Amino acid sequence: MPGVRRWRKILAGVGVVALAATAWVFWPESAVDEVVGIAPEDGTYDVTILRDDYGVPHVFGATDPDVAYGLAWAHAEDDFLTIQQTLLAGRGRLASVMGPDAAPVDYFVFLLRIPDTVEAGWPTIPEDVRRVLDAYADGLNHYAATHPDQVLPGLFPVTGKDVVAAFVQKVPLFFGLEEVVGGLFGEERPDLTASTGPAARYGSNVFAVSPVRSEAGETMLVSNSHQPWTGPVAWYEAHVRSEEGWDMTGALFPGMPFLALGHNRDLAWSFTVNRPDLIDVYLLDVDPDDPTRYRVDGEWKTFEVRTAEIEVRLVGRLRWTFERETLWSIFGPVIRRPHGTYAIRYAGMGTVGLAEQLYRMNKATSFEEWRDALASRDGLPSFNIGYADRTGRIAYVYHGLFPVRDPRFDWEGYLPGDTTDTLWTSYLPLEELPWVVDPASGFIQNSNSTPFTAAGSDSPRPDGFPASMGIETQETNRSLRSAALLAADPSIGFEELVAIKFDVVYDEASAPVRLVERILGLGLEGTSDELDRALGTIARWDRSADRSDRSTALVVVTMAKLLDAGVDFNPSQLGEPIDVSDVELSEAFAAAVEELVGRFGRVDPTWGEVNRLVRGDVDLALDGGPDLLRAVYGRLEDGRFEGIAGDAYVLVVSFRPDGSVTSRSVHQFGSATLRTDSPHYADQAELFARNELKPVWFDEEEVRAHLEAEYRPGS
């Protein structure tokens, strides 16, 4: 049967080819060839890394570029994967490694023309800053070349431009640009005012105390930015020092060559997210006969049309490149949908100055130098900022790149896109923003709240600023508590300030307290023995989320059940009636009782049994909760909240009367972000769970007195 044998051979050959193809698709990718020869030559950089007892890197170099190179190496040792993902996102290539879920991130990059912004802006960055950016990229290249098994495909070598692109891609997310863009892709035209909710999902705290309110004549600042505990915006602690005057300790995000917040020997600062009106959406008048044209000032203009090629990893090595149209108008990027064609314009669009701004802030030695760095209208687009220094000065600014807008238009809603009267081109100068400098109250505070209560009676007045800025007027539980606690103590010591930071009490006006009042008024008594016990439990609640409390679990789990059910409930809402129906509230409370009884066998487990820090084999009880100064935000699973965000890197700084500076800090996990085999993967978790801080060693002799390792990159 020669024909049968021939077909058997053919089928066997096909099988071999199919097997080979399958093996190729699923065979692990190697980026070894991509990193050959990309490490800088030996001797290019002069830097030493000292790791202290907690594994925190102290990077000592001759020049600022030396330090940036060493910082990149040290951070890569602990979190190389996240750094690479951050740089891939800036390039618009994240989906090529992470798969379809990351495709919207890449589309966002091409829609906003981030590669164009970086190419055009790179020559405008001063040469000294570019050298630092390129040195940081060299540090990553060196690490990649010596650890090819950790390298993601299609990224290396990287340059300083990649570092800038990561800045440009990430920063608009802090004031909600992705929410506005995502909303426009819905089936119906969204209500823009509905997107202006709380300042941030997780929130942050900053407060400072001047010598007039401190016990020992100190000037103190609490830096307490609430971030996710893992991922591209999780904090990493480091200290850098060069012989060119860069000497800073604090925290940074993956892919950053500078400290984002912290202190040097002269001054300290920290951020909280604010949500002013920094995004405008325009309704375009598109030619019904020619969709490539739109009318402005009575004349037809033509969209700039491009095709974004988005490479997506499907499975194994198999990738597919999808093409998506991107449009551009005189206002900015354009989104075409069945319910309209929209242009978007936002603060900081087309700018690349944030890297320089942070670098100058890192090296500032006086309030005037720090403020000059901040004055650039080419950098930070938003954020509340708290400040303190060794001269005794404290300050607060509600910062932002606020467009100079025509007051004839309603800037909260959709804007007419058929007139250049709505096309703003400049920003308000720094001195015209809400400022507080050296208040007589002796303190400043902000917790994603209005600037108009930042310093008691010395706060800015709302009538001094145009409505088009969109400045928040809301308070948070955290801002009410910090303002009350700071104002109540005329002589605050360092430990007292730490205790204020870890406060776990809800204000009477807070949403959880008013939610309890609503539940107690529902008339649920007599429904069941368990519900009766639960009602008695919350009736005894003292508004404290201490780990030993037996009422908090019911309150917080009920809030979680409301959110899980899709109820439009804001846990940070203050003062106003809780906008939840009796039926929704009854069902959520009953579900909370059922979940707690099912897990713990009782309606009143201690809050510490429910509220947990989990890191590898570590599983610890926590105080705190949503919108508390001791902030913990968790994911409810089987009756327990496992913390995922909130208090993360906490730093408390003291400038003493003799001009010296000391500080203490804690990280929710430790310095070894992704190294599960490191002793520093969770070595700070117990400190964090006990609401305690560790020393920050800032002088070299202190570091060497607590030295775990000393080495040079690559050695």
pLDDT category of residue 564 using cuts at 50, 70 and 90:
confident
pLDDT at 662 over 50: yes
Smallest Cα–Cα separation from 253: which of 267, 268, 238? 238
pLDDT at 199 over 50: no
pLDDT at 14 over 80: no
Backbone angles phi, psi at 254, to 5 degrees: -55, 135
pLDDT category of residue 572 using cuts at 50, 70 and 90:
confident
CATH number of 47-184: 1.10.439.10
Residue 638 has what pLDDT? 87
**Residues whose CB is less than 8 angstroms from the CB of residue 617 and which lie 6 or more positions away in sequence, other chains included:** none
pLDDT category of residue 83 using cuts at 50, 70 and 90:
very high
pLDDT tens across 71-82, in order?
999 999 999 999
Distances (CA, A) of 634 to 223, 511, 513, 649, 656: 21, 17, 19, 17, 37
Specify the range with the lowest mean pLDDT, choosing from 30-39, 183-192, 219-228, 468-477.
Answer: 30-39
Percent of the chain exceeding pLDDT 70 equals 95
DSSP structural state of residue 151: P
Q: Residues 616, 682: contact at Cβ < 8 Å?
A: yes
Residue 287 has what pLDDT? 98
Average pLDDT of the chain? 93
pLDDT tens across 139-159, in order?
999 999 999 999 999 999 999
- Alpha helices, DSSP H only, in 53-205? 64-91, 95-98, 103-111, 114-121, 127-146, 160-170, 177-184
Across 491-496, average pLDDT: 98
Beta-sheet pairing, 227-228 with 236-242: unpaired
CATH number of 279-346: 2.30.120.10
pLDDT category of residue 481 using cuts at 50, 70 and 90:
very high
Q: What whole-number distance in Å separates Cα of residue 469 and Cα of residue 278? A: 8
Domain parsing of the chain, residue ranges: 47-184, 279-346, 511-646
Across 611-633, average pLDDT: 97
For the chain, the first-to-last Cα distance in angstroms comes to: 68
Across 341-358, average pLDDT: 97
Percent of the chain exceeding pLDDT 90 equals 89
**Residues whose CB is less than 8 angstroms from the CB of residue 18 and which lie 6 or more positions away in sequence, other chains included:** none
pLDDT at 240 over 90: yes
Question: Is-same-fold flag (47-184; 279-346)?
Answer: no
CATH number of 511-646: 1.10.1400.10
pLDDT category of residue 567 using cuts at 50, 70 and 90:
confident
Residue 17 has what pLDDT? 42
**Which one has a higher pLDDT value, 194 or 290?**
290
Record the pTM: 0.94
